[in-house]
Structure 1
Amino acid sequence: MYQFFIARFPHYRTLHSNFLCRNAFSLFFDSRSFSVSNTNHHHQPGNFTLSTLVNSCGLSPETALKLSKRLQIKNPNGPNAVVQLLTNHGFSDSQLRSYIKKHPLVLLSDAEKTLLPKIQFLQSIGVSTTDLPKILIGNTSFLSKSLDKHLIPRYEVIRSLVCNDKEVVSALKHGSWNLHCGWAVNDAVLNIEVLRNLGVPQGCISLLVSNFPGIAFTKHSIFVEAVNSVKEIGFDPSKSNFVLALQVFAKMNKDIWESRFKIFNKWGWSRDICLSAFLKHPQYMMISEKKIIKAMNFLVNDVGVSPEEIAKRPGILNRNLEKTFIPRWAVVKILKSRGLIKSDLRISSVISISEKKFLERYVTRFQKDVPVLLDAYNGHMSD
């Protein structure tokens, strides 16, 4: 919990970075400095040159030149300290290059006074060494914003919407956060209040915030419109499908929504059938047109599944054609030809289960009698 962090490091409440309060682009950079990458992760003090910005940091020559002309590093070893800090906290060389490419100004930060407290704060709420680089690369503003004025207050808002810090970390992993946007924070509070007034249980709210934070923090007017659409279709606010449908409506524009009805109509689905399937599995409406056509063609034309059966289990359309449909159908065909499984076994039930269960039920179980099963499965997996 971050309260423990504050109790242990109370002086972080008053930390302010004068560097971050200045206009960084008003400074001038001497191109003498810079050295970033070392595969052994021991970054020795040295000079960061313009070529290092290009070769090691992954910046374009134009960006590197622009940076070298506009910024000035007073402490030549400062960038090395930043690199070493990030490396010590889980950044691989490739992640380091990716982060610096997105946020080169981080090299000018004070590693000990400015960056370390923010990293320690994230660790205090449960961000692991594995997740830290991913979160920071996806949210480059985190280390450039004030811990006291931005990170902690934003954390407190997210924490008020979910059950625990684990869900906060999940939200950070699944979203890109504009910590300076006060409207997003205010709208999130209003959005969740709408759900609570409808009787949406906390578990479902946590599901939305921790897995689809971009929807929870979307503009209030868009959120309310999506909620109204979900209610009109008939979703039960007490069920998780309500928030799953909500994220579909909040993301999908009306033209794409209508185009999905036209696609499925080619296979005989009426609008009512599409909506009935949507009530069962909202995410199927977000599948790309190309993937829908490929999956329906295979299931209907190659396998012989009726469109009506697919409508009853629309979630199977989310599965991968090459990695799931084709290899599993190869196994099922062999088993049916040997009379080892019922001839009327529904392929939809075979596709919907996990890979572990599929292997246990249809491969490992029959492998002594049909040794070619695993080869057939793996062979089609590589197609």
Structure 2
Amino acid sequence: MLTNNLERIREIVVCAEGLGVPRGSPMFRHALHAVAFDSEDTITAKLEYLKKTFRWSDAEVGIAVSRGPQVLTKSKDMLQGRSDFLISDVGLEPAYIAHRPAIISYSLEGRLRPRYYVLEFLKKKGLIEQERSYYSVVMVTEKVFVEKYICPHEEAAPHLAEDYVSACKGEVLANFIFP
């Protein structure tokens, strides 16, 4: 970005601010990166694609991009896959995702889907009592996830740790198939 001329840098800054990311925000540098190499038309097309794919209103797109401008750098296939899974499979509301855009950046195969499988398995077996926020389950580190959701159930579900590891490799096991 530093090799651009001064006028282009000004355009990038104005564009980043136009996304609703204030200059003083920690997200501003991410917004600069997200718009630095695209034209205004390309960015507009990406915003429209986000609206369509995640069923977001203009306001929700604004919220998502201001909180996670890196969503503008993701491919259409990646975004479509996350949308299909988060909305259709997990059952998250579009507004929920818009307020937590970081969830879109996580690996579908390595994090989102396996952790969802574990949560559903634990609910189905009655091993967790309270409803858990899917976002809070996805956001914790791998170590914390295993300590909170796998280790406490070693006796009741001795295969859970192995099944989780397999799910992280993309395998779908019978224990993780839900009607």
Question: Do both share a fold (TM > 0.5)?
Answer: yes
The alpha-carbon deviation at position 275 of structure 1 amounts to: 1.2
Query: Aligned partner of 1:362: which letter?
Result: Y
After superposition, the C-alpha distances for 1:29-85 in whole angstroms (9 at most, x for unaligned) are: xxxxxxxxxxxxxxxxxxxxxxxxxxxxxxxxxxxxxxxxxxxxxxxxxxxxxxxxx
Query: Aligned partner of 2:33: which letter?
Result: Q
The alpha-carbon deviation at position 343 of structure 1 amounts to: 5.3
Instruction: Give yes or no for the alignment of 1:244 onto 2:30.
Output: yes
The alpha-carbon deviation at position 342 of structure 1 amounts to: 4.4
**1:220-299 to 2 correspondence within 5 Å?**
220-266=6-52, 267-299=54-86
The alpha-carbon deviation at position 241 of structure 1 amounts to: 0.9
Match of 2:124 among 327, 332, 337: 337
With normalisation by structure 1, the TM-score equals: 0.41
Q: Structure 1 stretches of 5 or more lacking a match? A: 1-214
Counterparts in 2 of 1:260 and 1:353: CA distance versus 1, 3 Å: farther
* Aligned mates of 2:49, 2:131 — CA distance in 1: 28
The alpha-carbon deviation at position 222 of structure 1 amounts to: 1.8
In the other structure, the counterpart of 2:99 is: 312
The alpha-carbon deviation at position 236 of structure 1 amounts to: 2.9
After superposition, the C-alpha distances for 1:244-281 in whole angstroms (9 at most, x for unaligned) are: 11111112333332222332333320122111111111
Greater mean deviation of Cα atoms: 218-227 or 280-289: 218-227
With normalisation by structure 2, the TM-score equals: 0.84
* Aligned mates of 2:156, 2:68 — CA distance in 1: 37
Query: Aligned partner of 1:255: which letter?
Result: D
Match of 1:363 among 150, 170, 174: 150
Q: How many correspondences in the alignment?
A: 169
Q: Structure 2 stretches of 5 or more lacking a match? A: 171-179
- Secondary structure of 1:345's match? coil
* Aligned mates of 2:10, 2:127 — CA distance in 1: 53
**1:18-57 to 2 correspondence within 5 Å?**
none
Instruction: Give yes or no for the alignment of 1:300 onto 2:87.
Output: yes
* Aligned mates of 1:260, 1:356 — CA distance in 2: 35
Counterparts in 2 of 1:301 and 1:340: CA distance versus 1, 3 Å: same
- Secondary structure of 1:368's match? coil
Instruction: Give yes or no for the alignment of 1:352 onto 2:167.
Output: no
In the other structure, the counterpart of 1:327 is: 114
Counterparts in 2 of 1:275 and 1:337: CA distance versus 1, 3 Å: same
Counterparts in 2 of 1:234 and 1:297: CA distance versus 1, 3 Å: closer
* Aligned mates of 1:342, 1:305 — CA distance in 2: 20
* Identity across matched positions, percent: 27
* Aligned mates of 1:321, 1:299 — CA distance in 2: 9
* Aligned mates of 1:339, 1:242 — CA distance in 2: 44
Asked if 2 retains the 8 angstrom alpha-carbon contact of 1:252 and 1:286, the reply is no
**RMSD across aligned positions (CA):** 1.9
Asked if 2 retains the 8 angstrom alpha-carbon contact of 1:330 and 1:376, the reply is no
Larger radius of gyration: 1
Asked if 1 retains the 8 angstrom alpha-carbon contact of 2:22 and 2:28, the reply is yes
* Aligned mates of 1:219, 1:228 — CA distance in 2: 15
* Aligned mates of 1:358, 1:343 — CA distance in 2: 16
- Secondary structure of 2:56's match? coil
After superposition, the C-alpha distances for 1:160-191 in whole angstroms (9 at most, x for unaligned) are: xxxxxxxxxxxxxxxxxxxxxxxxxxxxxxxx
* Aligned mates of 1:265, 1:229 — CA distance in 2: 18
**1:124-163 to 2 correspondence within 5 Å?**
none
